[in-house]
Structure 1
Amino acid sequence: MPAKDGGYFSRLVRKLTSDVEDLDADDLSEKSEAGGAQRACDCRSGQEVTVLGRLRSVELCPTNEAATLQAELFDGTQGVTLIWLGRRRIPGIEPGRTIKVRGRMAERDGQKVLYNPYYELQSPVS
């Protein structure tokens, strides 16, 4: 029987010798693809995108005009900054939470950004 994807033994050796962060990134990337989302690394500015990943950080950024809530979403391939203008807090938007977001990709200071994305909180248990 031909080995699939390098075979069971190869996958086992990889799991035993890889860094935990690399394995987590691989797992996130697989979940993103299975959830029908695009890989963040493949998204380009101006595209309407759907990205699924885990929130690494969430912070309130007060400005002179209005507060903004910013979060970093990581899908296993690349980070995307999510910015909700005029929001101080959104229930469920917290570090470690898995969410699916949809919006038009932009770029700010060389970083991928989604402004006021639509979002779906994913169930904590996978």
Structure 2
Amino acid sequence: MGTKGDGYWHRLVKRLTTDVDVLDADDLSEQAQAHGARRASECHSGDEVTVLGRLRSVELCPRDAVATLEAELFDGTEGVTLVWLGRRRIPGIEPGRTVKAQGRIAVRDGRKVLYNPYYELQTTT
């Protein structure tokens, strides 16, 4: 017969014994759901989505004549590449920032991509 305390102890033991990266991914996934965003792992090509996650990397990719700024957003389930065409830099778009992005999912080279997404920088609480 379990008690209410069993849930607390189970969560405490899980926090103490689970890899930090796994815990971080779980926290990101919960945060995304709390803000009404969709999990990246549940998004498919052509879907209009809102995703929320942490930027893992940001890089300038000069391709031919058009430079693009690309950022990898990770929401705890999967990554989505955010691509801004014709941009070299966007203030606030930097690794470690939490971003909420909206757009239509595309697939490029097997990876999920949002081109020129609408985005909001999130404040840390």
**Fold conserved (TM > 0.5)?**
yes
5+ residue gaps in structure 2? none
| 1:34 matched residue in structure 2 | 34
How far is the alpha carbon of 1:64 from its aligned partner? 1.7
How far is the alpha carbon of 1:7 from its aligned partner? 0.6
Does structure 1 residue 100 correspond to structure 2 residue 97? Answer: no
| 1:19 matched residue in structure 2 | 19
Using structure 1 for the length normalisation, give the TM-score.
0.94
Query: Within 5 Å, which residues of 2 pair with 1:101-116?
Result: 101-116=101-116
Does structure 1 residue 64 correspond to structure 2 residue 64? Answer: yes
How far is the alpha carbon of 1:2 from its aligned partner? 4.8
How many residue pairs end up in the alignment?
124
How far is the alpha carbon of 1:3 from its aligned partner? 4.1
5+ residue gaps in structure 1? none
Deviation per CA, 1:49-81: give whole Å up to 9, x if none.
000000000000012211000000000000001
Using structure 2 for the length normalisation, give the TM-score.
0.95
| 1:83 matched residue in structure 2 | 83
**How much is the aligned-residue C-alpha RMSD, in angstroms?**
1.3
